[in-house]
Amino acid sequence: MSPRRKVDETDRDFFSTNAAKPKAPLRWGLPLTSILAFVLAAAAIAGSVFMLVAHESLERTEARDAAALFYVRGFMAEYTSLDPFHANDYADRIMAQGTGDFEKSFKEKLNEIVVQVARAEPTTGVVQEAGVQRWNENGSADILVATNVKSTGPDGKTPIESGTRWVVTTIEEGQQWKISQLIQVI
């Protein structure tokens, strides 16, 4: 051995069979990379689950909004389209779609409504636009509706148009939507 080299006890003596083997240095690369990969995978899965839940919730809300709007659009078109020759049928159809306060007030004024419809000119109601204003705690929705009613004048030739706005409260009872309140907005 060269005199310039210092010999340490932990150095390996390649010529001796009884020499102690030094410990291999600790390698942190693989365990650290594995832990980091696991954390990233868990974060990616958690983020994906969060986005899926948010997406499903939004989709459910949009589907419910669409169902309520579809029903209210059809109801308001029917409600604003008067046929004086079938006033009783009109009243029966509207009453069948009512519940709560709307049904109660419609029943109270049924005879007056039938007489008014029978005396009116035929009209065609068109829903211009409708939108969900808010969802209430009881599961009902307040929907703002703009309608346009077209009719002819007493001479039968002059077109008459009038626009109205309504706040319609609708609620789903079982598998069917019903109108629980109808307020004309001025």
pLDDT at 157 over 90: no
Q: What is the CATH number of the domain that holds 70?
A: 3.10.450
| Tens-place pLDDT, residues 22-49 | 677 778 888 899 999 999 999 999 999 9
Structural domain contains residue 104: no
Residues in the chain: 186
- Average pLDDT, integer, range 85-100: 91
In a domain, residue 23? The reply is no
Residue 21: per-residue pLDDT: 63
The four Cα atoms 93, 95, 99, 105 give a dihedral, to 10 degrees, of 150
For residue 55, give its domain range. Answer: 29-78+121-185
User: In this structure, is residue 2 part of a structural domain?
Assistant: no
Tally of structural domains, the chain: 1
DSSP string, 89-127: HHHHHHHHTB-HHHHHHHHHTHHHHHHHHHHSPPEEEEE
**Higher model confidence: residue 153 or residue 7?**
153
To the nearest whole percent, how much of the chain has pLDDT over 70? 88
With respect to residue 19, please indicate whether it lies within any of the assigned structural domains. no
The confidence score (pLDDT) of residue 80 equals: 92
* CA angle 156–158–162, rounded 5-degree value: 110
Give a yes or no: residue 158 inside a domain: yes
Residue 17 lies in a domain: no
101-114 confidence digits (pLDDT tens): 999 999 999 999 99
- 70 occurs within a structural domain: yes
Q: pLDDT (tens digit, 9 = 90+) per residue, 46-70?
A: 999 999 999 999 999 999 999 999 9
Is 91 contained in some domain? no
Q: How confident is the model at residue 178 (pLDDT cuts 50, 70, 90)?
A: very high
